[in-house]
Amino acid sequence: MTRVTAESDGRANDRMKHYYERYAKGGFAAIISEGIYTDQKHSQGYDNQPGLATKEHVEAWKPIVETVHEHGTKMIAQLMHAGAIRGVVGSKFVVGIRLSQGKVSDQAYKWPGGEETAETIFTTIGELPIDYIHVTDGDGTAESFGEGSRSMAKAAKDFGGKPVIANGKLGDPDQALKAVEEEGADFVSLGTGALANPDTPHRVQKGLELKEFDAESILFPIAHVKDMELNMDIK
């Protein structure tokens, strides 16, 4: 998730290392990084975004990835410019694609042809040289294309034929279970739930309380990583 905490030249830093380590320490199986830009000409989206465009960028990420790996957690780079990525990384890297109906500028947007459009989109994506599909929706388990229709996760699974990561209010363990057992998701991912509880997996395992996400304290006035987050007690 985007946290505008990198150096101004795009190098990842110690603060980010500490930030990501909390999720690894807190029991997450994998961490999807914030959006990383891939070239120095056109792909940077915002200030203090990390890059993977230069040798210095690569070196700066290494200690973060190594620290995360020390906890047995995998690290997935969220690369922007997804279409061109398989060609760049070759066949050995796991590459996935993430999509939603909602747009940044119109969260409520739905594909005009409903489930039929979903079938076309996921069938097409399923034929691309990618390894998984990551979908998000307001509610990751809800009917996504009108009454009686599939959820995004189920549509991705049925039509795309690849492993699916489901997202959308799945910080609630019952909802996460439903996404896996009823909607066919292979993995679930957490956004706000993980921001509030970087140790969600351990808290759920131990039956501990999950804190509510408070946008005010974590994301305002800007979304950079706060001391308060780094000082959280990780279970």
Ligand X SMILES: Cc1cc2nc3c(=O)[nH]c(=O)nc-3n(C[C@H](O)[C@H](O)[C@H](O)COP(=O)(O)O)c2cc1C
Q: Which residues, numbered 140-169, are part of the site for ligand X (CB under 6 A)?
A: 167-169
Quote the radius of gyration of the chain (alpha carbons, Å).
18
In the complex, least distance from residue 194 CB atom to ligand X, rounded to whole angstroms: 7
Contact 47, 2 (CB under 8 A): no
Strand partners for 36:
79
Q: Which amino acid is at 129?
A: P
Q: How many residues does the chain have?
A: 235
Nearer to ligand X, 21 or 34 (CB): 34
**Applying CB under 6 A, does 192 fall inside the site for ligand X?**
yes
Which of 116, 112, 134, 119 has its CA nearest to residue 32?
Answer: 134
- Which string of b and e fits 123-160 if b means at least 16 CB within 10 Å? eebbeeebebbbbbbeebbeebbeeeebbbbbbbbbbb
Size of the site for ligand X (CB under 6 A): 18
**Applying CB under 6 A, does 73 fall inside the site for ligand X?**
no
**Applying CB under 6 A, does 219 fall inside the site for ligand X?**
yes
**Applying CB under 6 A, does 102 fall inside the site for ligand X?**
no
Q: Give the binding range for ligand X (CB under 6 A) out of 6-14, 122-130, 151-159, 187-195.
A: 187-195
Nearer to ligand X, 73 or 197 (CB): 197
Pick from 10, 35, 50, 160 the residue near ligand X by CB under 6 A. Answer: 35
Q: Residue 124 has which token pair?
A: 């097409």
**Applying CB under 6 A, does 50 fall inside the site for ligand X?**
no
Q: By the criterion CB under 6 A, which residues form the site for ligand X?
A: 1-2, 34-35, 78, 98, 136, 167-171, 190-193, 219, 223
